Amino acid sequence: MKKLVNQTLLYYSILAFVLLLISAPVFYWFSEKLYVEDVDEAIMLRKEEFFQNSLRNLKKNDIPTWNRFNRDTYILPDTVKQIKSKIIQQQFYDTLDHEWEPYRVIYCDIKIEDGNYVLMKRLDLVESEDLIRTTGFLYLTILFVLLSSFILVSKIVSSRLWKPFYQTLSQIEKFNIEEHLLPKFTSSTTKEFEQLNSVIQKLIEQNIKAFQQQKEFTENAAHELQTPLAIFQSKLDMLLQHPSLTEDQALIIQQLYEAVSRLSRVNKNLLLLAKIENDQFSEKENFEVTSIIKAVLPYFEEQAEDKKLQVQTDFNEPITIQANKGLTEILINNLLLNAVRHNVENGRLRIQTVNRQLIISNTGNNEALNPHSIFRRFAKFSEDSHSSGLGLAIVKKIADLNGWALSYSFNENLHIFSLQF
């Protein structure tokens, strides 16, 4: 996509080019018309001079001499059939240059010693054409220089005029609503840009306020739901152990228990996200990543055995980081849980550490997931009822909190999650 400034300059350039194309023939036609009018005026003046000064002294015997020494004024016999007393354009052969040349010509009836003759007065247009071409070339050169200068100046001026707009755009691109920091817009002398900054500032403030209220509501709701859910789950446990339950009743209570368990997991994950966003895990320490993986991995052995997964670990190098250890355990736990839960029977699971990078690859659905939505909250890509849709969102939040680069790719039927420390 092109910048607005470049698009504006493109339109200016197209307009200038069209103007150049149109003005060239118009200028040539107009210049030629003016020059022809000047030539016609000169012919009429010279004709009048001939009548006033030369005609009265001419004799019939002088006509051959006159025609020999006057290049553009001829006295012809009365037999010449041409339009009289009107200037016309006519081609004549130049014996010196050996070519046909255009002339403006007038024919007039005259009398010399009672004899009828025709006066032919002409002026060459060749020099005029050369002059027009030269003038036209100079005109086009000047016009081209002016238009080029105009475009260059427009580019410089437009860049300066639009600079506040691009500064505002840059501030908006850097803005992160979770940081609660308002963008600092550069003041502008242009009224419209100042209005734009003011409107955007108000809109961002409203969004930050709404986002904060949403966070507080989620956190408060999760806190309020925690105890009732725990009580509800406990009562369902007691009901399931009651000896008088029928098989159908036990099935219904079991389904309720699973639904409440899932709701409880969602609630705990929402509370965890709220705590991460409120920076309640600020304590950091140095530790080795593979030690966390080795400590967490045994919890997934049973699930891996149920699916007959082939688990492979390649700890090529130790990775020491400084972070909150509890959050890092949650991150690794969620990545492994995702890799096991969404795997297939007789599938593969590979865990690697290389170049300060943790790579977890697993088989699963034979189609790539959407990398733009996979880390969003409540994004679900399977019908697994045990999934809360928050596991990878928590992983992303923890990675962003520590400045780690988290990415997803699909290659050779493997879903690959890569975490660069």
The predicted model gives 34-42 an average pLDDT of 84
Do 265 and 304 reside in the same domain of the chain? Answer: no
Is 328 within the bounds of a domain? yes
Do 322 and 199 reside in the same domain of the chain? Answer: no
**Predicted local distance difference test score (pLDDT) of residue 94:** 78
What CATH number did the domain enclosing 36 receive?
Answer: 3.30.450
Is 178 within the bounds of a domain? no
Mean pLDDT rounded to a whole number for the chain: 82
Q: Residue 263's domain spans which residues?
A: 191-277
Band the pLDDT of 79: cuts 50, 70, 90: confident
Q: Considering 277, 300, 315, which residue would you say is the last residue of a domain?
A: 277
Is 154 within the bounds of a domain? no
What CATH number did the domain enclosing 317 receive?
Answer: 3.30.565.10
* Total number of domains constituting the chain: 3
Q: Considering 244, 277, 310, which residue would you say is the last residue of a domain?
A: 277
The pLDDT of residue 391 is above 80: yes
Do 254 and 291 reside in the same domain of the chain? Answer: no
The pLDDT of residue 220 is above 70: no
**Per-residue pLDDT tens digits for 142-178:** 777 877 777 777 777 777 777 887 788 888 888 877 6
Do 255 and 232 reside in the same domain of the chain? Answer: yes
Band the pLDDT of 218: cuts 50, 70, 90: low
Do 61 and 196 reside in the same domain of the chain? Answer: no
Do 26 and 127 reside in the same domain of the chain? Answer: yes
**Predicted local distance difference test score (pLDDT) of residue 317:** 82
Q: Considering 277, 299, 329, which residue would you say is the last residue of a domain?
A: 277
Is 163 within the bounds of a domain? no
The candidate with the shortest Cα–Cα distance to 122, out of 163, 94, 141, is 94
What CATH number did the domain enclosing 196 receive?
Answer: 1.10.287.130
Is 252 within the bounds of a domain? yes
Is 211 within the bounds of a domain? yes
Is 172 within the bounds of a domain? no
Is 153 within the bounds of a domain? no
Q: Which of 189-203, 208-222, 336-350 has the lowest mean pLDDT?
A: 208-222
Q: What percent of the chain has pLDDT over 90?
A: 15
Do 134 and 244 reside in the same domain of the chain? Answer: no
